[in-house]
Amino acid sequence: MPIPVDLVLPCYNPPAGWAANLIASVRKVNTYLPEVAFTVRVVNDGSSQPPTPADIDLLRSQLPDFHYDSYEQNQGKGYALRHGVQATQHAICLFTDIDFPYEEQGVAAVLQTLLSQQCDVAVGSRNEAYYQHVPAARTAISRSLRFCTQHLLRLPVSDTQCGIKGFNQAGKALFLQTQVNRYLFDLEFLYWAARIPNLRVLPVQVQLKPGIIFSRMNFRLLLTEGYNLLRIIRRATPAG
């Protein structure tokens, strides 16, 4: 009997070839976990260059259970993921980026950690080799956040920004209570997860694929996310 798993991918101005890459990546994850049947849900977050009808037709023809959601105004990755996760129906949910930037073996390891009931929330964690492939500004921001999460916020997971995470129904219920729409939605989720009694969070090491290109982070976004960090810390703990 196949094990159903939801896979949610937020989508904003996807790169060329993204649909074929997604199909190949899902199939490769299945080589590590052949018992899993994925329900794949792509959420178009108000792209100015949205997925084409040909992209969607290809995904529908090649993925057994594919869903496409779209809305006009860009809201941010956190918003898009809550939109997609709200529609999921299975016990386990996984999310990652539209370019599937992490090696499929690591994605399978994140999922296997959940399937074996080792935790309620499984979090991809990048090693030091990751920083050899990203711009200096992004590296500085990422390292600063890791220091903050480990030493100031005292989270059990220092790498909150890795783009692969999954959870069971307990984790899903908390994720849907998050409020941050953009960069720090992961931090908000894990900050509250660390404060919910008996909610188990585990890091799982993953590896970045070669050739992944990261977008630049603008100054206005950093200012907004600094405000969001204060909101996260000051907000009352959500119900577990």
Q: Which domains does the chain have, with CATH numbers?
A: 3-234 (3.90.550.10)
Q: How far apart are CA 214 and CA 138, in angstroms?
A: 9
Is residue 193 exposed (0-12), middle (13-18) or buried (19+ Cβ within 10 Å)? buried
CA 99 to chain centre: 12
pLDDT in tens, the chain (240 residues): 899 999 999 999 999 999 999 999 999 999 999 999 999 999 999 999 999 999 999 999 999 999 999 999 999 999 999 999 999 999 999 999 999 999 999 999 999 999 999 999 999 998 755 555 565 666 666 666 666 666 667 777 878 888 999 999 999 999 999 999 988 899 899 999 999 999 999 999 999 998 776 655 555 655 565 656 666 666 767 766
With residues binned 3-state (H G I as helix, E B as strand, rest as coil), the percentages for the chain, rounded to 5, are 40, 20, 40
Distances in whole angstroms, Cα of residue 113 to Cα of each of 33, 106, 203: 12, 11, 9
Give the model's pLDDT for residue 136.
61
pLDDT at res. 132:
57
Task: Give residue 126's pLDDT.
Answer: 82
- CA dist., res. 119 & res. 99, Å (int): 26
Element (H, E) at 84: helix 77-86
Residue 90: per-residue pLDDT: 99
pLDDT of residue 81: 99
Q: Give the C-alpha separation, 237 to 240, whole Å.
A: 9
**CA-CA distances (angstroms) from residue 108 to 55, 85, 116, 124, 229?**
25, 19, 12, 11, 31
pLDDT score for 150: 63
